[in-house]
Amino acid sequence: MKVLVTGGTGLVGKNLQSLVHNIKTCEFTFLSSKHLDLTNRRQTIEYLKKTDFHTVVHLAANVGGLFKNQNNQLTMFVDNIDINTNILLGSVQSSSIKRVIMILSTCIFPDEYSDNINEQLLHKGPPHSSNRGYAYAKRMGAVMADIINSIQTTTNIQLITPTNLYGIYDNFDLENSHVIPSLIRKCVDAKRNNSILTVRGTGIPLRQFLYVSDLCIIIKDTILYNIQYNHMIVAPLQEYSIKTIVYKISDIVELDHNLIRFTDKKEEDGQVRKFAKSNVFDDIFPNFKFTDIDLGLRYAIKSYQSLNRK
């Protein structure tokens, strides 16, 4: 079986590549923006129509953390609408592609239900205003997937929604990364420079964090064992405040807590809580063991430290 992975050089793509490189029953191709501009409809559709992939794992997106989403609403909307539309159109027009596994995000769910997220609530209200451009674009990808699944049976679109991802090969950019890689960089740099660590917000918001390799295992098993579902959220049940994560990281890098400052600006918090639970996941993967947060943080910190030694 031939499998195409878009966003092949991103956080999930690189970790998936490490996981599947010895699998003999599948031939994986990892595509990056250097190979193909997925915002270009003609090029994307032509590429998918002339290849013979059976499955597409669609990871590619214009993605970032709270502040990137907040400050680039229109760009996030347009880019992600284009990317998802082109991949899905190209897949259904291909004569070989039978399955697309597309990745969403819990931040696209209604703000009103942020303390009780499940798959059925996706379109029950608007997302948090801080990321509406990204959120609505990803939602439209889910709408398009549902339409495709309802009108034809040749290509099946499956949706996976992971909670906040982190891990090795992450993007540690201070402005455009997700919360954990950004905090890792700030903590490591503050320790190295013996300087004050300033964290935006109050530190009160609660989040579930998913180590990236756990998501990759689920994607791999979905492919290898032909596991069927329409939409599945993947989220460990344990929640952590941002403040707790800051102190966990600072303890690992041995940064003095007295050097940590929070701005205490509520407008920098985003959603106070995003709690997700999936009965779909529980039914399909009842015995799945998520990576312990302390172990995952150590791996991610080593990943950033190794980048700085090069």
Give the model confidence (pLDDT) of 199-243 as tens digits: 999 999 999 999 999 999 999 999 999 999 999 999 999 999 999
92 plus 171 within the same structural domain: no
- C-alpha span between 106 and 109 (Å, rounded): 6
10 plus 157 within the same structural domain: yes
Q: CA geometry: angle at 308 spanning 302 and 309, to 5°?
A: 90
Structural contact between residues 84 and 44, judged by C-beta atoms closer than 8 angstroms: no
197 plus 223 within the same structural domain: no
114 plus 80 within the same structural domain: yes
Structural contact between residues 243 and 279, judged by C-beta atoms closer than 8 angstroms: no
Q: Residue 67's pLDDT is what?
A: 67
Residue 283 lies in a domain: no
Characterize the bridge pairing of strands 164-166 and 240-241: unpaired
298 plus 260 within the same structural domain: yes
Structural contact between residues 2 and 54, judged by C-beta atoms closer than 8 angstroms: yes
- C-alpha span between 8 and 149 (Å, rounded): 25
Domain count, the chain: 2
- As annotated, the active-site residues are 134
Phi first, then psi, for residue 2 (nearest 5°) are -100, 130
Name the residue type at position 55: T
Give the model confidence (pLDDT) of 80-111 as tens digits: 999 999 999 999 999 999 999 999 999 899 99
- C-alpha span between 89 and 92 (Å, rounded): 5
153 plus 257 within the same structural domain: no
Strand partners, 30: 5
* DSSP per-residue string spanning 147-175: HHHHH-SSSEEEEEEE-EEE-TT----TT
CATH number at residue 261: 3.90.25.10
230 plus 300 within the same structural domain: no
For residue 132, the enclosing domain spans 2-165+209-234
User: For residue 269, is pLDDT > 60?
Assistant: yes
154 plus 180 within the same structural domain: no
Characterize the bridge pairing of strands 164-166 and 156-162: unpaired
User: For residue 307, is pLDDT > 90?
Assistant: no
